[in-house]
Structure formats: C-alpha cells, structure tokens
Amino acid sequence: MNEASLTRSLVKALERELPGCVVFKHFDVVTTGMPDLSVTWGRRTCWVEVKYDEGEVGADQIVTMRRLAQVGVAFFVEFNYTSGIAVTNIIDPHDSQNNCSFSKHDVRKVAEFIRKKIEETHS
C-alpha cells in the first residue's frame, strides 16, 4: 500500500458516497502547494491533501491549505501507522478543534467525513 493506491481508493469511495460529485486528482509540478484532490458536490468544493506513513508536508502546502480552509473546506488526510497499527487522521489546517481520527486506513469513513463537512457548508 502506498499514497497513490490510497488516493485512488479514496477517489472511488468519494464517488460512491457523493453521487454525481466531480473529483479531480491534481498533479501540478509547477504550482507548489496544490492539494492532491478537489471534490465538488452540491455546488461546494472540498480540497484534500493526502499523506501516507508520515509523508512530509511542505510549508507551501500548509500555507495553501490554511488559505483554502479559511474560505472553504480543506483537510489533510493522513494514513499513518502508530506502533504498527493503521490510523487515519483528518486534520483541518485552519481549526485544530475540527480534527478526526480513527483506526484502520478506512477511505469510506474519510468520504463520509468529507460529505458531512460539505453538507455543513450549506447551513
């Protein structure tokens, strides 16, 4: 398992959880800090940066994700191992009180979390 395979699985889970959504995998070698995914559903967009097994988060990624979270919906999704146990962390780059963690690398739970956060922006 690696970041690319987890990202592909997450895209599939998002497409199941958010019927009719549009998910783009961004690969821009010129623009630094660009999040890995954008998910548009219900006229709202969520930005997602995926990291695997303590992957390095660059300063430019932090700045970009904080800017996006201030005006919209953005999260870091970290698929890590803690003492050999798979753990998923969802981190709001703008609000540390808005984080979520659970055991396993469960892309379905990540998709459910993102759906909930997008729905909350409609309120």
For the entire predicted model, the pTM comes to 0.90
- Which tokens sit at 16? 């199941």
Give the pLDDT score at 95. Answer: 78
Check whether 96 has a pLDDT greater than 80: no
- Kind of pairing between the strands at 73-82 and 44-52: parallel
Question: In 3-state terms, what secondary structure has residue 104?
Answer: coil
- Residue 85's beta-bridge partner residues? 82
- Which pLDDT band holds residue 25 (cuts at 50, 70, 90)? very high
In 10 A of CB 64, how many CB atoms? 20
Asked if residue 36 lies in contact with residue 7, where contact means CB atoms within 8 angstroms, the answer is yes
Q: How much is the pLDDT for 97?
A: 76
The β-bridge partners of 101 are 89
pLDDT digit string (tens) for 26-58?
987 677 889 999 999 999 999 999 999 877 888
pLDDT of residue 98: 75
pLDDT in tens, 58-89: 899 999 999 999 999 999 999 998 888 999 99
pLDDT at 83: 85
Q: How confident is the model at residue 122 (pLDDT cuts 50, 70, 90)?
A: low
Question: Cα–Cα distance between 31 and 19 in angstroms, integer?
Answer: 30
Structural Rg of the chain based on CA atoms: 13
CATH top-level class for 3-120?
alpha beta
User: Does residue 102 have a pLDDT over 70?
Assistant: yes
Does the pLDDT of residue 22 top 70, yes or no? yes
